[in-house]
Amino acid sequence: MQKYVVAAVATVAAVIVIVAGVVAFVALSNDNSHTAGRAAHSAPAATPSTSHKPRPTVTVTRPAPQHTVVVPPPTPTSDEDANFLALIASDGIKAPDDWAINAGHVTCGEDYATAYAYLTDGGIYPYHVQTFLDDWTTTHDGC
């Protein structure tokens, strides 16, 4: 029986030592007065190291400001040109003055197919081609 009492006392003592160790560990880990505790609480959390790739630079290019230059229409070289420009305008034909005068010189004396191709390529509506040619002939006494 003495063996059983010694074994029970040893077991109780072992349990007391284990409980005291746990209590001491918990008390020391919560106490900030120890150097190890301060160092543990003040150290930054470990972060995984990542390589920092440079961020792309965004460049915004703004177009240069556009300056509007107002160019006055060219002065007709003759009364015939001025009359021609007035006549095509009254017929509803819209074209830059210098182009219309140049087109009149180029198409004058040409066959209709050539004049038609030149004038429609320049922006004259197909139904205005004959009117354009007639206005040129009328105001310039032919070619």
Q: What pLDDT digit, counting tens, does each position of 44-60 carry?
A: 555 555 667 788 777 77
DSSP secondary structure of 19-75: HHHHHHHHHHHH-TTSHHHHHHHHSPPP------PPPPPP---PPPPPPP--PPPPP
Instruction: State pLDDT tens for residues 68-114.
Output: 655 555 555 689 999 999 999 999 999 999 999 999 999 998 999 99
pLDDT for the residue numbered 122: 93
Instruction: Give the whole-angstrom CA distance, residue 52 versus residue 122.
Output: 60
Q: Which two structure tokens, joined as six digits, stand for 83?
A: 């009359």
Q: What does pTM read for this prediction? A: 0.47
**pLDDT of res. 31:** 54
Residues 6+ apart with CB under 8 A from 61: none
119 backbone dihedrals φ, ψ, rounded to 5°:
-70, -40
* Average pLDDT over the chain, rounded to an integer: 78
Q: How many residues are there in the chain? A: 143
Tell me the pLDDT band of 35, cut-offs 50, 70 and 90. low
Percentage of residues of the chain with pLDDT beyond 90:
41
Closest to 103 in 3D by CA, of 87, 75, 84: 84
Q: What was the pLDDT predicted at 115?
A: 94
- How many C-beta atoms lie closer than 10 Å to residue 107's C-beta? 23
User: Do residues 139 and 87 make contact, with C-beta atoms less than 8 angstroms apart?
Assistant: yes
Task: Identify the residue with better confidence: 42 or 57.
Answer: 57
pLDDT of residue 127: 95
Longest dimension (CA), the chain: 151
Which carries the bigger pLDDT value, residue 65 or residue 93? 93
